[in-house]
């Protein structure tokens, strides 16, 4: 699965930018509040408008404080998957239950420096594990290969039936990194500048999907 990140798109032309990647599995929407991360992007009103402009399932990644309060609004707005950060959530189990009750999937994200093992049991309540392969906040950063150890552990648990989550990765994914991420066991790849920085975003998306599929065998 490929999820183009609109963080790298032209914010003045979001409907057109979504249309440029119609074959995407998900459209990744980075919501930042300038508190949890040192950047400010977009919020619920833009997501509501984007939902009306595209049929691509929206994958909303909330890099915000107090997701316990705000996450439910994105599910109610029609997001397919809503991901919160374990570092910001006060009651991650309640968030997951509320998101699912509102009609979306629930995702849990961990920063590069956050260990994976303490949250394995918590992930029983979630649909998606989003492993950050850069420090959250800005696009265009360099991929951190050391986070793939978390992916490998998660993949083993999923394959053994101990977890039932989709493994997603976000940060620095491009033609030069997607194969190693795929080999580690990633299911869904968030790619921003590698797609929206390309002359032909649709062709770039197709090429990334082919590389990932070949690496996974």
pLDDT in tens, the chain (217 residues): 999 999 999 999 999 999 999 999 999 999 999 899 888 899 999 999 999 999 999 999 999 999 999 999 999 999 999 999 999 999 999 999 999 999 999 999 999 999 999 999 999 999 999 999 998 877 777 899 999 999 999 999 999 999 999 999 999 999 999 999 999 999 999 999 999 999 999 999 999 999 999 998 7
Q: Is 10 designated active site? A: no
Q: Is 127 designated active site? A: no
Using a CB cutoff of 8 Å and minimum separation of 24, what contacts does 91-100 make? 92/122, 92/125, 93/122, 93/125, 94/68, 95/67, 95/68, 95/71, 96/125, 96/126, 97/125, 98/71, 98/72, 99/71, 99/72, 99/75, 100/127
CATH of the domain at 208: 3.20.20.70
What contacts 160, CB < 8 A, 6 or more positions away? none
Q: How confident is the model at residue 68, as a pLDDT?
A: 97
Containing structural domain, residue 180: 2-216
pTM of the model: 0.95
Q: Which of 25, 33, 127, 170 is catalytic?
A: 170
The number of distinct structural domains making up the chain is 1
Q: Which of 30, 33, 127, 187 is catalytic?
A: 30
Comparing CA positions, the residue from 119, 126, 215, 128 lying closest to residue 170 is: 128
């Amino acid at each position: 699965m490929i999820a183009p990140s609109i963080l790298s798109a032209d914010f003045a032309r979001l409907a057109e930018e979504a249309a440029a990647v119609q074959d995407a599995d998900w459209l990744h929407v980075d919501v930042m509040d300038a508190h949890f991360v040192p950047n400010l992007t977009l919020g619920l009103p833009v997501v509501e408008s984007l939902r009306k402009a595209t049929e691509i399932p929206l994958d909303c990644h909330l890099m915000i404080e107090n997701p316990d309060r705000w996450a439910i609004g994105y599910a109610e707005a029609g997001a397919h998957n809503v991901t919160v950060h374990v570092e910001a959530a006060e009651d991650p189990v309640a968030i997951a239950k509320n998101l699912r009750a509102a009609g979306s999937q629930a995702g849990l994200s961990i920063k590069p420096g956050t260990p994976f093992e303490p949250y394995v049991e918590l992930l029983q309540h979630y649909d998606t594990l989003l492993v950050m392969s850069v420090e959250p906040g800005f696009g265009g950063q360099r991929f951190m290969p050391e986070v793939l150890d978390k992916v490998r552990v998660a993949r083993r648990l999923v394959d053994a039936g101990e977890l039932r989550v989709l493994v997603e990765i976000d940060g620095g994914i491009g033609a030069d990194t997607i194969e190693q991420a795929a080999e580690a066991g990633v299911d869904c790849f968030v790619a921003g500048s590698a797609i929206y920085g390309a002359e032909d975003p649709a062709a770039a998306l197709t090429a990334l999907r082919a590389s990932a599929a070949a690496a996974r065998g």
